[in-house]
Amino acid sequence: MEVKALHIVVQGRVQGVCYRASAKTRASELELGGWVRNCPDGTVEIHVEGGRENVDRFVAWCQQGPPVADVTGLDATPAPLQGMETFLVR
């Protein structure tokens, strides 16, 4: 299995809408590791790693987020692997 890691910044109405908890649930369903946190500028920052196909599925989910989110932008860039096996909300 090919493994990849991404650093993701999600913009829009993504704080106060259960984005982090929903991201954790989706990442766990896809057996991905990493973390998610709110940033002071109103964005959500994510590090995700795991199998390439499941990481791609996670990014596709991030472009929508939970039902009450309004994602207006997403920047995903390659990141170094951190060896994370679980997904954490920070």
Among 13, 38, 52, 54, the active-site one is 38
Among candidate residues 28, 67, 18, 27, the one with its CA nearest the CA of residue 46: 27
38 carries an active-site annotation? yes
90 carries an active-site annotation? no
- Say how far apart CA 65 and CA 32 lie, in whole Å: 16
Among 13, 20, 52, 54, the active-site one is 20
Residues with catalytic function: 20, 38
